[in-house]
């Protein structure tokens, strides 16, 4: 009779419970990421923010990660210091940044302004940017750490399903914010919505803390501590190896294009739907909340399919095509023709795209990059992604103002609405480029033999 040495990783209950802890924290993190998204109109009315100022709020989340290289540093910290240290550091940083953003919209005089590089900014906006920058460091650090954590517990097992469920839980946070944030704002304004976002971040930090005890026990059971100087230890020169990997570069390019047409879009989607359908912001936010719900439901099923059948590279191509189609519908269907049915159908198409690409992309990276460098690989790909997420909200805010020259905060207060045709065409353009890179990725996979279309579960 053979005795099988079991660890927490071998226990389905333990590994799924570990996944639940880190996924719930990402639920709270994603809630805070978009807590201001349904409130664009309130920022313009209450704080006198222009679309450019509001757009820069969305972009500020990624400023330090991009220009100060914090995401690359986060990946190195993860590979050098380990999962437990990096999770707690990311959780603390999110709470700190969220607290500063709450202070900005709650205690800074609305009429106060500062001049930055010749641009007049409300002081509320400047301090909110700083808080969101710090939060952005924490949330992106958490994202790469959670990805490596899932690989640690599920490699050779239900990896894509686990990643799909984590993404689904995070997207439930997006659903929750489009439902709850307008309600919170009705009972205390923008600052009340931000307050609840910070409260959720504190709960998330405590969940990360609980997880670290499980992680410590697993490491003790598996004896996975790497000796200094061993061939398996991560080295800084491994970053160059990652950046010279054609499969990594193709996935990174697809990632930045795809997410640039999703996350910045979420910042403007509520006002776009309200403008095009002639409905209230609350009703528009409730309508758009079906976007993350659809993605949340589909993503685990796609992950299960990838684990059993594969076709990861192929599904990324299909997702990029659907992304392009959805934004073209938003852009080209006239407002007098656009109705609830078309809106819901287009949101479903976009939600399907949002399921196909991430569910296929993130489990594909471990097939391309060695595990010792995986944290840095996720850090680099998130860093590249953040260039788009930093610049695109600012670009969209500028395009919205430039294509609507007669719309002012005063006109908004009197009921004027924006025409979102130009911003939506920009998003569709990102989709077209994503389709091209998906085809490149399939060609690279065929040449290099990464096995991106092969199942994840090893028999």
How many CB atoms sit inside 10 A of residue 320's CB?
28
For the stretch 250-299, pLDDT in tens is: 999 999 999 999 988 988 898 899 999 989 888 898 888 888 777 778 88
How confident is the model over 127-164, as pLDDT tens digits? 999 999 999 999 999 999 999 999 999 988 888 899 98
Integer-rounded Cα radius of gyration of the chain: 22
How many CA atoms are closer than 13 Å to the CA of 175, on its beta-carbon side?
Answer: 16
Q: Tokens standing for 18?
A: 């570990």
Angle at 52 between CA 48 and CA 58, to 5 degrees: 100
Mean pLDDT of 428-442: 96
pLDDT at position 230: 43
Looking at per-residue pLDDT, the higher value among 199 and 2 belongs to 199
Q: Locate the domains of the chain by residue range.
A: 10-221+234-448
- Would you state the pLDDT for residue 4? 47
What is the residue-averaged pLDDT of the chain? Answer: 88
Does residue 91 have a pLDDT over 90?
A: yes
Q: What is the DSSP string of 417-435?
A: ----HHHHHHHHHHHHHHH
Q: What is the C-alpha to C-alpha distance for residues 33 and 136, in angstroms, rounded to an integer? A: 8
pLDDT at residue number 235: 65
Could you report the per-residue pLDDT of 208-263, keeping only the tens digit for each? 999 999 999 998 888 765 444 444 555 667 788 888 899 999 999 999 999 999 98
pLDDT attached to residue 378: 84
CA distance 458 to 155: 9
Q: Which phi and psi angles does 152 have, rounded to 5°?
A: -60, -40
368-390 average pLDDT score: 84
CB 96 within 8 A of CB 24: no
CA distance 21 to 149: 11
Which residues have C-beta within 8 Å of that of residue 152, sequence separation ≥ 6? 9, 83, 218
427 or 1: which carries more pLDDT confidence? 427
How remote is the C-alpha of 71 from its chain's centroid?
A: 14
Say if CB 52 and CB 399 are below 8 A apart.
no
pLDDT of residue 231: 44
pLDDT higher than 90, residue 323: yes
Which pLDDT belongs to residue 333?
Answer: 94
Classify domain 10-221+234-448 at the CATH class level.
mainly alpha
For residue 77 the two structure tokens come to 């910290």
Rounded CA-CA distance 444/255 in Å is: 16
Q: What is the pLDDT of residue 416?
A: 83
SS3 assignment for 366-389: HHHCCHHHHHHHHHHHHHHHHHHH
Question: 201: pLDDT confidence band, cut at 50, 70 and 90?
Answer: very high
Strand partners, 119: 116
pLDDT of amino acid 15: 93
**Nearest C-alpha neighbor of 61 from the set 413, 303, 394:** 394
pLDDT at 97 over 80: yes
End-to-end CA distance of the chain: 23
């Amino acid at each position: 009779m053979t005795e099988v040495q079991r660890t927490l990783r071998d226990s389905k209950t333990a590994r799924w419970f570990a996944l639940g802890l880190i996924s719930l924290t990402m639920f709270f993190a994603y809630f805070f990421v978009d807590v201001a998204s349904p409130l664009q109109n309130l920022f313009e009315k209450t704080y006198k923010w222009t679309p450019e100022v509001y757009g820069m709020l969305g972009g500020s989340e990624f400023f330090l990660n991009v220009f100060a290289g914090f995401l690359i540093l986060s990946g190195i910290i993860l590979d050098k210091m380990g999962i437990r240290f990096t999770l707690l550091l990311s959780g603390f940083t999110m709470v700190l940044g969220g607290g500063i953003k709450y202070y900005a919209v709650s205690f800074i005089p609305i009429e106060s302004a500062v001049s930055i590089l010749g641009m007049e900014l409300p002081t509320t906006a400047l301090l909110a940017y700083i808080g969101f920058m710090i939060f952005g460091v924490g949330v992106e650090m958490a994202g790469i750490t959670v990805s490596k954590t899932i690989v640690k517990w599920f490699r050779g097992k239900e990896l894509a399903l686990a990643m799909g469920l984590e993404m689904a839980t995070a997207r439930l946070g997006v659903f929750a914010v489009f439902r709850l944030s307008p309600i919170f704002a009705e009972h205390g304004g923008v600052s009340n919505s931000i307050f609840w976002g910070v409260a959720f971040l504190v709960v998330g930090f405590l969940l990360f803390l609980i997880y670290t005890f499980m992680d410590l026990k697993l490491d003790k059971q598996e004896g996975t501590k790497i000796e200094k100087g061993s061939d398996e230890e991560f080295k800084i020169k491994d970053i160059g190896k990652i950046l010279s990997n054609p499969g990594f570069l193709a996935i990174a390019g697809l990632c930045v294009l795809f997410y640039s047409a999703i996350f910045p879009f979420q910042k403007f989607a509520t006002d776009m739907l309200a403008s095009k359908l002639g409905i209230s912001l609350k009703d528009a936010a409730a309508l758009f909340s079906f976007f993350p719900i659809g993605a949340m439901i589909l993503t685990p099923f796609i992950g299960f399919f990838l684990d059993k059948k594969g076709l990861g590279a192929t599904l990324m191509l299909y997702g990029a095509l659907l992304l392009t189609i959805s934004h073209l519908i938003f852009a080209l269907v006239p407002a007098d023709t656009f109705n609830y049915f078309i809106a819901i159908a287009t949101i479903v198409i976009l939600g399907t795209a949002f399921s196909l690409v991430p569910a296929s992309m993130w489990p594909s990276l471990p097939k391309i990059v060695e595990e010792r460098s995986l944290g840095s690989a996720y850090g680099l790909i998130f860093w590249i992604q953040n260039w788009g997420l930093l610049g695109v909200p600012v670009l969209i805010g500028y395009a919205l103002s430039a294509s609507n020259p007669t719309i002012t905060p005063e006109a908004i207060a009197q009921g004027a609405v924006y025409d979102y045709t130009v911003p939506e065409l920009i998003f569709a353009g990102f989709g077209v480029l994503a389709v091209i890179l998906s085809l490149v990725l399939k060609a690279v996979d065929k040449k290099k033999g990464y096995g991106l279309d092969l199942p994840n579960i090893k028999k």
